[in-house]
Amino acid sequence: MSDHDGLKAKGLFGAVFARGAVEADDTAWLQAMLDTEAGLARALERAGLAPAGSGEAVTATAKAANFDAGELGELAALTGNPVPALARALARLVPQTAVSAVHRGAASQDILDTAAMLLASRAIGVVLADLATAADAAAALADAHRATIMIGRTLLQQAVPVTFGLVAAGWLTSMDDARQGLAAVGSQRLAVQFGGAAGTLASLGDHGPQVAALLAEELGLTVPVLPWHTDRLRIIDLGTALARVTAVLGKVARDVTLLAQEEVGEVSEDAGAAAAGVQSPAAAPRRGGAVAMPHKHNPVAAVAILGCSRQVPGLLATLVAAGEQELQRAAGAWHAEWQPLTSLLQLTGSASSWAAELLTGLAVDASRMAANLAATKGLPLAEHVASLLTGVLGMAQAHSLVAEASRRAVSAGLPLRDVLLAVPKLEDRLASAGISAGQIESALEPAGYLGAADAFITAALGAHRSKDVH
């Protein structure tokens, strides 16, 4: 299949919201269910409950291409889920000697829940790889821009100077935390589901726990203490870990969109990045362009990440709401999980793929950062000056004086330095206290008021290097 065909297969919005290598579409679900059925057949054979060779026979037949997903979907309306129709179709296709190994002892929920765990396991591997790329790129930005000073912004207003390295270090530590959380879910919380009709595996007699353990081994999933048909904390934990990833990536993307505004212009997405879409016969479309406004260079990757992340909280809320499930098997709440979980896997995979590209190709305009900082005419250093004057004037008076000087500076369009040194009698008081005009000017130097920024960057990079996330 060509890239063009692959994009078409994802549908109209798939290139934005189902980008990357995470597979959670109908075909992926079908194959995961078939993998579960095949794993069960192999486990039954190993337990001596199915004829020799039946596991291999079922495995050879359990390929999504051998089944009609559309037909299975239509038949699902008869039973509330597609598994019964799938099990019947599989039994018809395998050799007669292997029929007894198909779906034996399993409930429909066992197959679907275990398939969900397989999908999640495969998706987590992809997401972690993309997150590792994004985190490494953030680490490189943090190290390269340790001394790139920019204006810090709080409540969307100018605050005190920071460095872009510190900004990138913040992205890095958040991504590393999200990676660790997702990896922990992948290694500890993805368990096989095998409980039979009501969680007792009665149809397998004393062999139930053995088959469950062998099934987990066959599929590379963990073995739960007991079946979890109506204990949905695993699903909620998975959804939460995915939501944490998209929340972190959403923060990065929001920062980029704000810093990429023309009025700010401090970062931009790599203009040379390949367009993530179908190429026209004449030429590749320009990334970030607008139909009506040819001059635009929109931050497409950041916007796409935000489009993914904004959908996630509602999906997670549905999974949490579905956690209340009745008695031994739920009527509706279990069914309510399938589509939100599918979307969560796709959106997290897409956001991670976009983030890897965004941070790898992010262009940083240090000169624009310096110009924006210089345009503040010293106002972001008012706090530093006030701390210098506190020893002479006292905290309250120093703060009041600098605040008044700041207001005058803004009103007159003058540098804060000029206004401060023009305050009547202040020069005499500073001189008597041994504070010179040079010290005032020094206090207005951004490089002298970065606090522990460099140390924090070093700590973030050290923590990143020490993390071993798989």
Q: What distance in Å separates the CA atoms of residue 191 and residue 139, rounded to the nearest whole number?
A: 34
Task: Kindly state the average pLDDT of the residues 451-463.
Answer: 97
pLDDT in tens, 195-244: 999 999 999 999 999 999 999 999 999 999 999 999 999 999 999 999 99
What span, in angstroms and rounded, lies between the C-alpha atoms of 445 and 435? 16
Distance of alpha carbon 112 from alpha carbon 120, whole angstroms: 12
β-bridge partners, 63 = none
Answer yes or no: is pLDDT of 290 > 70.
no
Position 429 scores a pLDDT of 67
Domain 22-104 part of CATH 1.20.1560.10: no
Task: State the fold for domain 107-270+295-375+450-470.
Answer: Fumarase C; Chain A, domain 2 (1.20.200)
Are 186 and 124 spatial neighbours (Cβ–Cβ below 8 Å)? yes
For residue range 64-85, what is the model confidence (pLDDT) as tens digits?
Answer: 999 999 999 999 999 999 999 9
149 φ, ψ to 5°?
-85, 140
DSSP tag of 267: E
| Fold category of 379-443 in CATH | Ribonucleotide Reductase Protein R1; domain 1 (1.10.40)
The residue type of 222 is: T
Domain edges within the chain:
22-104, 107-270+295-375+450-470, 379-443
Helix (H, G, I), strand (E, B) or coil at 176: helix
Average pLDDT over residues 254-268: 96
**Extended beta strands in 42-190, E state:** 149-154, 157-163
Tell me the average pLDDT of the chain. 90
Which residue type occupies 378?
G
Give the integer Cα–Cα distance in Å for 305 and 300.
9
The DSSP secondary-structure symbol of 269 reads -
Q: How far apart are CA 151 and CA 372, in angstroms?
A: 7
